[in-house]
Amino acid sequence: MRIGFGFDVHQLVEGRDFWLGGIQIPAQKGILGHSDADVLLHAISDAVLGALALGDIGIHFPDTSDENKGIDSKIIFKKTIDLITEKGYKIGNIDSSVVCESPKIMPHALSMRSKIAAIANVSIDDVSIKATTNEKMGFIGRREGIVAYAVVLLVKI
């Protein structure tokens, strides 16, 4: 077994879509990034890569590459899953937390869990998504950004 930890942070801005956990969520502000900026899939992908000491998504999908401009983070996550499968591992389970003031995340958690589980080829019961606010403190509290944390367990196939 191998354990990996992932973290990602992005700015919230007007004029962008809000993609989280592979789904689009209605929101006043969207998430800024070189890709679709799905902070949750980025954190999970980093955790998966980290568990096998394969670096992070910045190495595999650099934000300096025009090829990755606007890329759907579900593609990043799928390619990450393919990479660990080639190395002889699969996801055991995923535990994640999203920190933002708005929009409310938990009404969408089941849809996100379902999307993530399908890509990772695991049961929805193997994917946990939690959400909290930052109690109106700091850049998150001012609704300037969003953060996601993830821990994954990989098991040998």
pLDDT tens digits for range 45-65: 999 999 999 999 999 998 888
Cβ contacts of residue 118 below 8 Å, gap of 6+? none
Burial class for 128, CB neighbours closer than 10 Å (0-12, 13-18, 19+)? middle
Average pLDDT over residues 9-22: 97
How does DSSP classify residue 153?
A: E
Burial class for 75, CB neighbours closer than 10 Å (0-12, 13-18, 19+)? middle
| pLDDT for the residue numbered 70 | 82
Average pLDDT over residues 63-80: 90
Structure tokens at 94: 């995923």
Instruction: List the domain range (segments joined by +) for residue 147.
Output: 2-156
Number of compact structural domains in the chain:
1
Q: What percent of the chain has pLDDT over 70?
A: 100
Mean confidence (pLDDT) of the chain: 96
| pLDDT for the residue numbered 150 | 98
CATH classification of the domain holding 136: 3.30.1330.50
